[in-house]
Amino acid sequence: MSFELPNLPFASDALEPHISANTLSFHHGKHHNTYVTNLNNLVGDTYKSLEDIIRESAGDPGKAGVFNNAAQVWNHTFYWNSMKSGGGGAPSGDVASGIDAAFGSFDKFKEEFKNAAVTQFGSGWAWLVVDGGTFKIVKTANADTPIVGGQIPLITCDVWEHAYYLDFQNRRPDYVQAFLNHLVNWDFATSNLG
């Protein structure tokens, strides 16, 4: 079995005006697809899951290429699902309760999430995760992913420049604010709670 580029969970123009179809054509069609192609070239046909490949290659300098490409395939797929047309706003149910318990309020969560995303030096990701039953915000560099450490990701925001540069240029804070206000898919976060 080889890995395939997953379809976007929305139409290519569904996130406009916040993320353009042009950005998605490059980000999904080129960047994400390249990670899939590279991973297949590195591992060939396999019966292992993407998650198993990530966990088995994490921290092994001899498998850095495998890890980077596998993790980027996984991270990007998770990112697409972390957004939806008409997203944003406040979560409800268990996600809202978890955020309130961990951060005191939804506004405080948004402030801390945006800060993590904006201060991630260089390329990486901002995540809302569950760690030991508690909601936390973490940021990871490059291809790193919270699943390596046993955390349960709920949502992620890609802060590699290719995620936002065509639409926002160097204004990462504006991109992250648009993600939180208009795009984040709280239904997906709820589904990840199990």
The whole-number pLDDT of residue 99 equals: 98
Residue 94 to residue 112: CA distance in whole angstroms: 19
- Whether residue 17 has a cis bond before it, omega within 30° of 0: yes
> How confident is the model at residue 46, as a pLDDT?
83
CA gap 73, 143 in Å, rounded: 9
Give the pLDDT of residue 27.
97
Q: Which residues of the chain have pLDDT under 50?
A: none
pLDDT of residue 194: 78
CATH class of 93-192: alpha beta
In the prediction, which pLDDT does 47 show? 85
The whole-model pTM stands at 0.96
Instruction: State the Cα–Cα distance between residues 169 and 123, nearest whole angstrom.
Output: 15
The per-residue DSSP string of 148-159 comes to GGT-EEEEEEE-
For residue range 124-164, list pLDDT tens digits in order. Answer: 999 999 999 999 999 999 999 999 999 999 999 999 999 99
Say which CATH architecture domain 21-81 belongs to: Orthogonal Bundle (1.10)
Is 93-192 the same fold as 21-81? no
Q: Which residues of 23-62 are buried (b: 16+ CB within 10 A; e: fewer)?
A: bbeebbeeebeebbebbbebbeeeeeebeebbbebbeeee
Backbone angles phi, psi at 59, to 5 degrees: 80, 0
Q: Is 185 helix (H, G, I), strand (E, B) or coil?
A: coil
Annotated domain spans of the chain: 21-81, 93-192
Q: Name residue 156's beta-bridge partners.
A: 127
Q: What does the pLDDT read at residue 65?
A: 96
